[in-house]
Amino acid sequence: MATMDASTAAFMKEYQERFEKKLRENEVALLEHWKSQLEKVESSRPDSIASLQLQIHKITEMMGNRIRVLKKG
């Protein structure tokens, strides 16, 4: 019976490590996506504050839409 407990503990530890690794990978992918969105705004050199605000507003709308989708699913 002790072997069963040890193998279960080993399985749980391995599973948790894989889960945490996948979570980190997803977080990196998420940050890379939004970083690239902001880099597009930065490289576009907006003509005025109004156009910069519009671009920032579009990004925040995209983020809001994504949050809503994730909360639904």
Question: What's the CA gap between 1 and 33, in Å, rounded?
Answer: 48
Give the range of the structural domain holding residue 16, as residue numbers without chain letter: 2-72
- Per-residue pLDDT 10s for the chain (73 aa) are 556 688 898 999 999 999 999 999 999 999 999 999 999 988 988 889 998 999 999 999 999 998 999 899 7
Residue environment code for 35-71, b if the CB has 16+ CB neighbours within 10 A, otherwise e: eeeeeebeeeeeeeeeeeeebeeeeeeeeeeeeeeee
Tokens of 35: 């970083």
Q: Tell me what pLDDT residue 2 has.
A: 55
pTM beyond 0.75: the answer is: no
Q: Tell me what pLDDT residue 45 has.
A: 83
Number of domains in the chain: 1
Question: What's the CA gap between 48 and 35, in Å, rounded?
Answer: 22
- Amino acid identity of 43? S
